[in-house]
Structure 1
Amino acid sequence: MRRLRTYGFVAGFLAVPLVLYTVFVISPYAQAFQLALTSWNGYSSVVRYVGFDNFGRLLEDEVFWRALRNHGILLLVLPVATIVIALLFAFLLNLGGGTRGAGMAGVWGSGFYRVVFFFPQVLAVAVVGVLFQAVYRPDADGVLNGILARFGLGPVGWLIEPDLALWSIIAVMVWQAVGFYVVLFSAGMAAIPKDYFEAAALDGAGRVRLFFSITLPLLRDTVQVAWIYLGIAAFDGFALIQVLAGDKGEPDGATTVLPITIYNTAFSYQKVGYASAMGVALFFLTVTFAVLTLRTTRRERVEL
């Protein structure tokens, strides 16, 4: 009887969130799968089913493949750059100061640096985009080009040159993401017994050895989670790219990604059915990436 009451109490608290999640998350996903099989234009009362024709068109769509190529670059660069930088900063802030007092400590002023690194996380994506519009201005009034002008260089079209635009946006994405993962990795390092570091330091291990022999192996699960989160972020990028490069993924589609393409296809060209097919493809790409990452990085749990 007591167990039944407990289950009823828990179910009562979960009922409302589950209903809201079903209505606002599961239901739109289900509708997208249905619309992907139609040629609906978004406002007509007549819905014509075309089966899997929309998915066949994706295989011949140059814009779709260009967006996938950009996602591939994001998927390779964004997680690696963010994780490497965040791990370095987190290690310095938590253990980079070496042995101090009764244990290991971070570098001097680590508390202040934590606030500085996390600051980009409190800014809205649109604010970050507007901020870097000023940084990347193609004339001498831009922050970067103003610095280059002092050395007799530039100006550089950071966002208007096809070979540079995507890399410039990736740099912004890394800048904004690093602070969150510094906090995430710091929490993981705080869970590692300090005795491990102190014993290794007494044996003469330097900071590099401490990092690669103790910190990184024991943070593997946290790094795995970070990799999945950043991979999912690499399949997005809609808001930042729209602010910095416009809703066409300028220049010449060099920065276009699937969310941008889906938005244009649905609302600019009134091809909601075809846009839904792109959304379904994006959904499966994201899920496949997460599942493959979990399976390929799975290992036996390390007992501390």
Structure 2
Amino acid sequence: MNGLLFGLAIVLPPRFTPERVRYDRRYRTLDKYRFIVGFLAVPLAFYALFVISPFLQAIYYSFTDWSGGPVANFIGFDNYRKMWNDDRFWDSLRVSTLLLVVAPVVTLVLGMFFAYMITSGGRHRRGRAIAGVAGSSLYKVVYFFPQVLSVAIIAVVWGRVFNTNSGLINGGLDKIGINGPAWLGGDETLGLISLLIVISWSFVGFYVVLFSAAMGSVPQDIYEAALLDGAGRARTFFSVTLPLIWDAVRTGWIYMGIQALDTFAICLVMVPPHVLKVTPVFLYERFRDGQYGYATSIGVVLLVLSMAFSLIVMRVGNRDRIEY
């Protein structure tokens, strides 16, 4: 072996010796990592400064009696003990948990249904195994329109729609001889249903666009094979489309869950305080009352709950990736 290396060293130019080749390979690897570190250094620094640092500060203040002043005395777990014994916190957390469970299911199901109709709900056309309904491009714009509206505007408009006396819903029911309920008049169940309707309406357009893009990337050959095997629309969706877009569904599930858990402006503006409160509104009220340390401890609980929800969804929704 040594003789072979010696012979190569004589025959080949010095830059092609085995030692030089190994050195060049190590140098290229080191240069690659230097480029990656240099490219990411500034973004990571900004992320640490504006994202990680506030999280760490909030965790620290949750163990203090900070009231907004320059002094924050360390009090250990007193804020968390207070939270544990606070019935108002548990009531708000119960409402937020219901939204966390129900809102993603309703919104994602509607998003997938509308997206499937836009991409595959039309009649078969010449040269295409599947096609969307007529005017599908316009429907995408219509569904996405709530995303460009301010959350406060959405809350004010829907608050008028759900108004007991002059609202659009009860006004329509009165036309057919039905006395509409007091949607936001004090019943927690009706208030929760109203809030769920507004949340799903305001976010479903985003998932229509997301799922439409995922469905549009599925090759036509797969749908043609399913049609040749006699699969109908429902069977094609559950056996072909849904498994192939599952990564997008899981991502949307996590994102929508966090959005439902973080519902603040809609509930604060639209729903009267005596009907129901979500945890972010309860947190805001503690800040308004000057209980900053207690409020930050509630924020830490929301952070932990969001992370736990994301990990559970990633674990439950974990499937083998299908390549196509």
Does the CA-based 8 Å contact 2:215-2:245 persist in structure 1? Answer: yes
Does the CA-based 8 Å contact 1:42-1:266 persist in structure 2? Answer: no
Aligned counterpart, 2:159 = 133
Q: 2-side partners of 1:121 and 1:55: how far apart?
A: 36
The question of 1:190 aligning with 2:211 is answered: no
Aligned counterpart, 1:102 = 127
- 1:186-243 CA deviation, whole Å, 9 max, x = no partner? 1111121111111222332211111111111212211111110111112110111111
Which SS does the other structure have where 1:295 is aligned? helix
Aligned counterpart, 1:250 = 274
Q: 2-side partners of 1:20 and 1:166: how far apart?
A: 39
Superposition pairs for residues 109-258 of structure 1, below 5 Å? 109-139=135-165, 141-162=166-187, 163-246=189-272, 249-251=273-275, 254=276, 256-258=277-279
The question of 1:79 aligning with 2:104 is answered: yes
Residue identity opposite 1:291 in structure 2: L
Does the CA-based 8 Å contact 1:54-1:273 persist in structure 2? Answer: yes
Aligned counterpart, 2:42 = 16
Aligned counterpart, 2:293 = 273
Aligned counterpart, 1:65 = 90
Offset of residue 284 of structure 1: 0.5
1:264 equivalent among 285, 290, 293: 285
Greater Cα shift, 199-208 or 22-31: 199-208
The question of 1:53 aligning with 2:78 is answered: yes
Offset of residue 55 of structure 1: 1.0
Offset of residue 4 of structure 1: 5.7
Q: 2-side partners of 1:6 and 1:130: how far apart?
A: 53
Aligned residues: 296
Q: 2-side partners of 1:58 and 1:68: how far apart?
A: 11
Q: 2-side partners of 1:61 and 1:93: how far apart?
A: 48
Offset of residue 52 of structure 1: 0.9
Which SS does the other structure have where 2:121 is aligned? coil
> Which of structures 1 and 2 has the bigger CA Rg?
2
TM-score when scaled to structure 1? 0.92
Does the CA-based 8 Å contact 1:95-1:105 persist in structure 2? Answer: yes
Aligned counterpart, 2:14 = none
Q: 2-side partners of 1:2 and 1:220: how far apart?
A: 38
Offset of residue 250 of structure 1: 3.3
Offset of residue 154 of structure 1: 2.3
What value does the CA root-mean-square deviation take over the aligned residues? Answer: 1.7
Greater Cα shift, 30-39 or 12-21: 12-21
Which SS does the other structure have where 2:124 is aligned? strand
Q: 2-side partners of 1:126 and 1:4: how far apart?
A: 51
Offset of residue 303 of structure 1: 2.1
Q: Which runs of 5+ in 2 are unaligned?
A: 1-26
Q: Which runs of 5+ in 1 are unaligned?
A: none
Q: 1-side partners of 2:221 and 2:40: how far apart?
A: 41
TM-score when scaled to structure 2? 0.86
Residue identity opposite 2:146 in structure 1: P
- Runs ≥4 residues deviating over 4 A: 1-13
The question of 1:298 aligning with 2:318 is answered: yes
Offset of residue 17 of structure 1: 2.6
Q: 2-side partners of 1:264 and 1:161: how far apart?
A: 20
Offset of residue 8 of structure 1: 5.0
